Structure 1
Amino acid sequence: MIKIQTNTIFLLLLLFSTPAAALSQGKPERLRLIHADFLKRETIGQEVRQVLTGSVKFEQGKKTIECDLASQTIDEDPIALIGNVYIYDEEQSLFADTVYIYTKEFKLVAVGNVRSFTGNDTTTANRMTYFQKQKKVISEGDVRKIDPKEKTILTGGFAVYQREAKYGEVFDHPVLIQNDSLGNEIMRILADTMEVFENGQRTIAKGNVEIIQPDIKATCGQAEYIKSESEITLTDSPKILQRNQQISGDTLKLYLRDSKLNRAVVTGNALAISDADTLDRGKWLNKLTGQTMEFVFGDANELKKVIIKNQATSLYHIIEEKEYKGTNEVSGDRITIELVDGQAQTVQVSSSPDLSTGKYSPPNQI
């Protein structure tokens, strides 16, 4: 019986980052059976099965394994740890309903209410498979990774994590949630798939990407989030929807401050459209165009300033006291618009001499 459990623990040592020197020597620390209520040995035909039951506990150095039942058919895989399985060392803890250990494949499969704890994060799933030789972990079913330090939660249906490369892929409707210091959600990123680099310092979301903050939603085909730079780059038909406004272009960069949108810069075929009258949407549309646009947002995600550069144009419908007064249309090298409560307060146009234009059209000429 001890032989079987020694193999078990030795494999677990491999899976839980045993130092390379110990592995090369092939001499794990001595395994000690601390407790078991019963030991049973069964012979069925040519097979011999050994079972430990009742508050089973092993220790090996600083590692501990506990379960309700441990069993194996001699010289056969898998070894089964069943019921309230708990595997612990100083670097990582694993809880599960059942753990199957395949000694020949250097593989461990945890099934049912799986929870993995490290010093940095917590991962839960319906099933986790550890591949020691490939240094890979596959998580399946309601995957959820919580990083308290970064205040992030990453969820999905299926995830693959490469330990040495610190690289992961998440599939089946992945969602990345950023919380503030009080645990309130301030940003959510959804996509078809996500790639995570350097343990979440860089994330690439692909396919039907949505980035959601209070009063603001951005969509695109691909987004790259660099956490250290507080920057998200959107490509493949990027758009921002903000209250009654829509912003689009070839490339869109979001600059965050404390994970909230502070600035947005659109490069290439920049276009911004908004309703002139929020009570009669779609009737009159204000329109801004240019090669580059910068949008500055306030603390409540309200738009405060727009800077348009290169082939800048502005078409603005004038509505005063619910009465339509016509349009102002201006163009130049650079247009700066200051806004209050979503309404333009000042418009400044700068350009080389004779290149800026301005035109007012009364209602009867539109």
Structure 2
Amino acid sequence: MKQAVRLFCAACCLLPALRLQGQSNTLQLVHADSARGFIENGRVVRELMGSVEFMQDSSRMFCDRALQYPEEKLALFSGRVRIITPPRELQAEQIYHYEVRREQIASGRARLITPRQLLTADALHYFEKEERALAEGHAVISDSSERAYLSGARIEYLRLKGYARVDGDPLFVRHDSSGTDSMTVRSRLMEMFEDGERILAREEVTITQGEVSARCGEMTFMRNGEKVLLTLQPEARRAADFLRGSEIDLYLDQRVLTGIGIRGSAAVVTRVDTLASPKPRYDLISGEEIYVGIKKNSIDSVHVQGRATSYYHLFDDRNYQGFNKVLGDELMMSFEEEKVEWVGVKSAPAASNGIFYPAGQERPLLKELEPLLQPFGLQPESPE
């Protein structure tokens, strides 16, 4: 046995000078500064040191040290490890390479680099035949060209489909150039489709986009359409505005919020400016559909369609005048410095209606407003 070991070790020392032999689908040594062989617990082991390079099919493996187990078709690469298989590259401090199964288990700053995505994690299991990766521990998949990333405890990534599933406190972040309108989404489960063209978040979803914060049961982000769709009991808030409906759309232009669309029992509640009214007062707009236009982070216009109703307080130079209610099929409002500047109503004559209660006489209208504010957890002010 000792003689066999000596012969094996001598053969290993000649490895750097050996020409590549065998079939291309087997792991072949290209270069190593030094080599030795030994038996460990009955296993034949080759140790290769210094600028180690292997090849297998179109893959090239580079590392500082390798332990090769020829009988098991297994190699352990360590040091600065790189496995390059165009168009992807796997990097880590340590990688187990299974020659026949064509799988790699990477640990220590594991990185999978593809043309569209960068996947990093504490540990990463890559299945070459399926082009599938399982990443665990501080897992992040990012797209530097979009300044966006997904992170979580675990990520499953299917490279050819551009699909990823994230769980374990998943987080989606999309930065804008200024940082003031960045999007942040949290949920219990997230999925990426088409290399980030669409992001789906489900269960206990919370989102912030600039000044807007929202929660819902499901969120879909569509990159090409620059739109965020909130469904399953969505609620949103923007500064002093509260929004509810069956569905809420956030419209973006170059990552900046430009509008909010609400469909199905749509309602928007706005707290009256505290400079005009130190006591809490709320205006309400409701209808089948509402669109809120936003310009320079301020409400620019509101368009209500279908059973349009508006309750709003009137002020004259911060002096409270009274409470107004307007009904119609369609309602348009324009704003200047977050205050109503103009109101227009479109409706059949019989369906259009408006009523004004002067200050001190608005009790009937406030009672009417009370149940409409309850879903928002708000109460109308007490009559003066």
Bucket of the pairwise TM-score, normalised by the shorter protein: 0.7 to 0.9
Correspondence for 2:292 among 283, 291, 295: 295
How many aligned residue pairs are there? 342
Q: How does 1:145-156 map to 2 (within 5 A)?
A: 145-156=141-152
User: What is aligned with 1:165?
Assistant: 161
User: What is aligned with 2:221?
Assistant: 225
Write out per-residue CA displacement over residues 163-196 of structure 1, whole angstroms, 9 at most, x where no aligned residue: 3333211112222222235787622222221111
- C-alpha displacement at 1:206, in angstroms? 0.8
Identify which range, 166-175 or 343-352, moves more after superposition.
166-175
Q: How far apart in 2 are the matches of 1:103 and 1:357?
A: 79
Correspondence for 1:269 among 234, 243, 265: 265
CA contact (8 A) 1:34 1:59 kept: no
Correspondence for 1:202 among 195, 198, 222: 198
CA contact (8 A) 2:210 2:256 kept: no
CA contact (8 A) 2:210 2:257 kept: no
Q: How far apart in 1 are the matches of 2:309 and 2:320?
A: 21
Q: How does 1:1-366 map to 2 (within 5 A)?
A: 27-28=24-25, 31-36=28-33, 38-59=34-55, 63-76=59-72, 78-180=74-176, 186-278=182-274, 283-298=280-295, 300-366=296-362
The verdict on how the C-alpha distance between 1:275 and 1:184 changes in structure 2, with shifts beyond 3 A counting, is closer
Q: How far apart in 2 are the matches of 1:327 and 1:289?
A: 16
The verdict on how the C-alpha distance between 1:28 and 1:185 changes in structure 2, with shifts beyond 3 A counting, is farther
User: What is aligned with 1:16?
Assistant: none
Identify which range, 140-149 or 315-324, moves more after superposition.
315-324
Q: TM-score, normalised by structure 1?
A: 0.85
Identity of paired residues, percent?
A: 27
CA contact (8 A) 2:180 2:210 kept: no
Q: How far apart in 1 are the matches of 2:288 and 2:181?
A: 34
- C-alpha displacement at 1:61, in angstroms? 7.8
- Consecutive unaligned residues of structure 2, counting only runs of 5 or more, are 1-10, 16-22, 363-384
Q: How far apart in 2 are the matches of 1:364 and 1:328?
A: 13
User: What is aligned with 2:3?
Assistant: none
The verdict on how the C-alpha distance between 1:293 and 1:182 changes in structure 2, with shifts beyond 3 A counting, is closer
- Consecutive unaligned residues of structure 1, counting only runs of 5 or more, are 6-25
- Bigger CA radius of gyration: 2
Write out per-residue CA displacement over residues 176-221 of structure 1, whole angstroms, 9 at most, x where no aligned residue: 2222357876222222211111111111111222221222212211
Q: How far apart in 1 are the matches of 2:216 and 2:285?
A: 20
CA contact (8 A) 1:271 1:289 kept: yes
Q: How far apart in 2 are the matches of 1:47 and 1:173?
A: 42
Write out per-residue CA displacement over residues 335-363 of structure 1, whole angstroms, 9 at most, x where no aligned residue: 10101221111111110012111111012
For residue 119 of structure 1, give the secondary structure of its aligned residue in structure 2: coil
Identify which range, 127-136 or 217-226, moves more after superposition.
127-136
Give me the CA root mean square deviation.
Answer: 2.5
Write out per-residue CA displacement over residues 300-342 of structure 1, whole angstroms, 9 at most, x where no aligned residue: 3211111111111000012344432210111100110101221
